[in-house]
Chain A
Amino acid sequence: MQIRGKVWKFGDDINTDLIIAGKYKLSITDLDELSKHAMEAVMPGFSEKVEKGDLIVAGRNFGCGSSREQAPLVLKHLGIAAVIARSFARIFYRNAMNIGLPPVECSDVDSIEAGDILEVNMTKGYVKNLSKATLHSIKPVPPELWEILSEGGLVSYVKKHGKLPWEAV
């Protein structure tokens, strides 16, 4: 799985309320409308500026807080192709896998800047910064999860295989 895109850079501890606030999640059920408020508390106007295929690069503990699946959903809906972070909060990580938004763990994100163009290859396990000509290794995805992510998420997996990943054929 190879992805190429432009970087939007965020810091540590980007929580689920910053990604999509409860006041919106608990009043708007339409994903088009909801997505307009993604990241607005930390980067006003993000939803208007972001383009299909763009990437989010962040620090530690991305997605901490709530279990709301709307957090990875709004990012995917806006066209974000992958989130690359030093580390992820565990529920966000699983949610992102399950809805088919690649979460990429990369310990070496400091030198990556907003606007850089990255090439992400999850199968070969690297992030290449094309703007700075640097190469960064990423943490491999467990095979059980790769099975789900590579099908585009859990619902797509079930539709294709007619069973859950852990069920016998």
Chain B
Amino acid sequence: MGKTISEMIFSQVSGKDAYAGDLVIANVDGAMTHDGNALLALEAFEEMGGTKLWNPSRTAFVIDHVSPSATEAFSSVHKRMREFVLKHGANFYEVGSGICHQLMIESGLAYPGSLVVGSDSHTCTYGAVGAFATGIGSTEMAAVFLSGKLWFKVPETMEVGITGKLRPMVLPKDVVLKVIGTVKADGASYKALEFRGSTVEAMDVDGRLTLCNMAVEMGAKTGIIEPDEKTYRYLAALGHRLRKGFKSDEDAALSGQLSLDVSDLEPQVACPHTVDNIRSVTEVEGKEVNQIFIGSCTNGRLSDLRVAAGILKGKKVEKGVRLIVSPASRDVYVGALREGLIEAFADAGCVVCNPGCGPCAGAHQGILGPSEVCVSTSNRNFKGRMGSTDAEIYLASPATAAATAIEGKITDPRRVLEEA
């Protein structure tokens, strides 16, 4: 019987002829932890008697969640991470380097055909380059640090076939929100979601990263996309050597299929307080907002900033509203500087923060107060996630977020085209 990409990767890393449902012990190709969860991992590593990392060159420590530190407690966490890395080796990403998931792609630690784990649920992002990548807890991360191995249940694969040409101002984020609204928050539990179809093929790698990033919002173990010429060109441009990934066999067994024609898709918005509470932007237009956030591991890449800056250029953020921009990495930040995007943001009255997670996880740089409303390009709108439990978070694309900032209320970005 044929295999899916996920089954092929698990066969490779376990040395077994692995199929969905099998329990395998796998050799991990890459492991990542960040300041939000590193402390527990380091404590567990030491409690387990850890004296050295299984492979420092395949391990990454990233300071991105509270970066720079906002509290003494987290300054101590950062200090502990620096000391650990100094002692044990490992790739280390200081304050200002960027978001862990963007860095794992840029650094080449996640690559086609690899198995990568991270102590963060959005590790599933790396499936966009054909890696099998998934989030694990801190204690399991400690076990990986020790042994380079972890047990996995090989997941079933659900195919998400997306076809049709997206209309102007309709972005990959709108596509994935539509998928989440259809599959729902636990509709892909324990499965690998394989995104396929002409829309995905036409998408740049930035867009594919947005799709895979949100697979976990449907309960999936990972999102994954077959690498193609576009993927290999993207990775080559980053200076990485060619490592061929896998392609699912035609006769591989699937568990569920979703087909979506996005030719007529409108911009989508995830309304409070669950990510699967999806509406078209036209249904929520006019809702007054206090804060807009453009950034995160979902939508903080150069193509996202280009769209947002294109809408904001020559305009002003509405009075009484604040727009916070956090580039996903220093490379993205420098790219945005060179293209004049940062200047466009500043001229429009935005706050441009250092690369990092920004306000997405509620740590700093834009905490919401009681009854405040935020439109965010991030991936979670859970009650209280960005601050007050009385605040509301609407998730949207960078285009919808930028258009909303100009009007001070939720705005269909296609209006910007009409006005132009």
A interface residues (Cβ-Cβ under 8 A, vs B): 13, 15, 17-18, 21-23, 25-30, 40-42, 60-61, 64-70, 73, 87, 89-91, 94-95, 98-99, 142, 144, 153-155, 158-159, 164-167
Residue from A42, A69, A144 in contact with B139 in the complex, judged by beta carbons closer than 8 Å: A69
Interface residue tally on B, bucketed by range: 35 or more
Query: A17-B380, A155-B47 are contacts. A27–B71 as well, Cβ < 8 Å?
Result: yes
Other-chain contact of B189, A66, A69, A89, A158 (Cβ < 8 Å): A89
Name A41's contact: one of B25, B77, B146, B384 (CB within 8 Å).
Answer: B384
* Contact across chains for B48 and A91 when beta carbons are under 8 A apart: no
**B186 and A95: CB pair below 8 A?**
no
A29 touches B73 (CB 8 A): yes
| Chain A residues closer than 8 Å to B385, beta-carbon distance | 17, 21-22
Q: Is the CB of A23 within 8 A of B367?
A: yes
Q: Which A residues touch B143, using CB under 8 A?
A: 154, 158, 164
Query: Contact at A69–B138, with CB atoms within 8 Å?
Result: yes
For the complex, give the distance between the alpha carbons of A27 and B138 in Å: 17
The answer to whether A91 and B135 touch across the interface, beta carbons within 8 angstroms, is yes
List B contacts of A15 (CB < 8 A): 380, 382
| Cβ B363 vs Cβ A64 within 8 A | no
Structural contact, A28 and B73, CB atoms closer than 8 A: yes
- Say which residue of B39, B118, B119 sits within 8 Å of A29 (CB atoms): B39
Report chain B residues within 8 Å CB of A41: 383-384, 389
For A60, the chain B residues whose CB sits under 8 A away are 186
A70 and B362 CA atoms in complex are apart in Å by 15
Q: Cα distance A21–B388 when bound, in Å?
A: 10
Please determine whether B136 and A70 come into contact, CB atoms closer than 8 angstroms.
no
User: What is B's interface to A at a CB cutoff of 8 Å?
Assistant: 23, 25, 36-37, 39-40, 44, 47-49, 65-66, 70-71, 73-74, 76-77, 118-121, 123, 135-140, 142-143, 146-147, 149-151, 185-186, 189-190, 219, 221, 274, 361-364, 367, 380, 382-385, 387, 389
The chain B residue with its CB closest to the CB of A68 is B37
Q: Are the C-beta atoms of B186 and A64 separated by less than 8 Å?
A: yes
Main secondary structure on chain B at its contact with chain A? loop
Contact status B137-A29, CB under 8 Å = no
Contact B387–A67 (Cβ < 8 Å): no
Given the interface pairs A26-B363, A61-B185, A144-B23, the reply to whether A94 lies near B219 with Cβ below 8 Å is no
Q: For the complex, what is the distance from the CA of A94 to the CA of B65, rounded to whole Å?
A: 23
Report the tally of A-B residue pairs with Cβ distances under 8 A.
146
> Which of B139, B219, B380 has the most A CB atoms < 10 Å from its CB?
B139
When A27-B74, A67-B135 are in contact, do A87 and B189 touch as well, CB less than 8 Å? yes
CA distance A4 to B97 in the complex (A): 49
* B48 close to A95 (CB less than 8 A): no
Q: Is the Cβ of A167 less than 8 Å from the Cβ of B147?
A: yes
A17 touches B367 (CB 8 A): no
Are B139 and A154 in contact (CB-based, < 8 A)? Answer: yes
Question: Given A65-B380, A144-B23, are A25 and B36 neighbors across the interface (CB < 8 Å)?
Answer: yes
Assuming the contacts A61-B185, A68-B36, A94-B137, asked whether A164 and B73 have C-beta atoms less than 8 A apart, the reply is no
B363 surroundings in chain A (CB, below 8 A): 22-23, 26-27
19 additional A-B pairs beyond A29-B74, A69-B40, beta carbons within 8 Å, are A13-B274, A15-B380, A17-B385, A23-B367, A26-B364, A40-B389, A41-B384, A65-B121, A67-B119, A67-B123, A90-B189, A95-B139, A95-B140, A98-B137, A98-B140, A144-B151, A154-B139, A155-B48, A159-B47
Max chain A Cβ within 10 angstroms of own Cβ: one of B121, B190, B367: B121
Nearest chain A residue, comparing its CB with the CB of B186:
A61
Q: Which residue of A lies closest to B219 (CB)?
A: A89
Name 28 interchain pairs, CB-CB below 8 A, sorted by A: A21-B384, A22-B363, A23-B362, A23-B363, A26-B36, A26-B74, A26-B364, A27-B73, A29-B76, A30-B73, A61-B189, A66-B121, A67-B119, A67-B121, A68-B36, A69-B40, A69-B139, A70-B40, A90-B190, A91-B137, A94-B137, A95-B139, A153-B139, A154-B44, A154-B140, A155-B139, A158-B49, A164-B48
